[in-house]
Amino acid sequence: MKYSSSLLNEAVEALSELPSIGKKSALRLTLHLLNDESNLALRIAQKIVDLKNNIKKCEVCYNYSDHKVCQICSDPSRNKNIICVVESIRDVMAIEDTDQFSGVYHVLGGIISPIEGIGPSELNIDGLIRRVEKDAPKELIMAVSPTIDGETTIFYITKMLKNLDVKVSTIARGVSFGGELEYADELTLGRSIHTRIPYSTDSNI
Residue numbers of the site for its own copies (CB under 8 A)?
A: 1-8, 10-11, 14-15, 17-20, 25, 27-34, 40-45, 47-52, 54-55, 58, 63-66, 70-72, 89-90, 92-93, 96-97
DSSP state of 172: P
Q: At closest approach, how far in Å is the CB of 77 from its own copies? A: 15
CA distance 26 to 24: 5
DSSP codes joined into one string, 96-111 = HHHT---EEEEE-SS-
What are the CA-CA distances from residue 20 to residues 16, 24, 93, 109 (Å)?
A: 8, 11, 21, 21
* CB 117 to its own copies: min, Å: 17
Burial class (CB in 10 A: 0-12, 13-18, 19+), 111: buried
The nearest distance, CB 39 to its own copies, in angstroms, is 8
We find the least distance from the C-beta atom of residue 157 to its own copies, in angstroms, to be 22
Least distance from its own copies to the Cβ atom of residue 45, Å: 4
Give the 3-state secondary structure of residue 56: strand
Identify which of residues 17 and 186 has a Cβ nearer to its own copies in the complex.
Answer: 17
Q: Is 55 in contact with 77 (CB distance < 8 Å)?
A: no
Which residue's CB is nearer to its own copies, number 43 or number 138?
Answer: 43
Task: Indicate the residue among 8 and 161 with the shorter CB distance to its own copies.
Answer: 8
Nearer to its own copies, 86 or 154 (CB): 86
Q: Is the CB of 7 or the CB of 136 nearer to its own copies?
A: 7
User: How many other C-beta atoms can be found within 10 angstroms of the C-beta atom of residue 60?
Assistant: 22
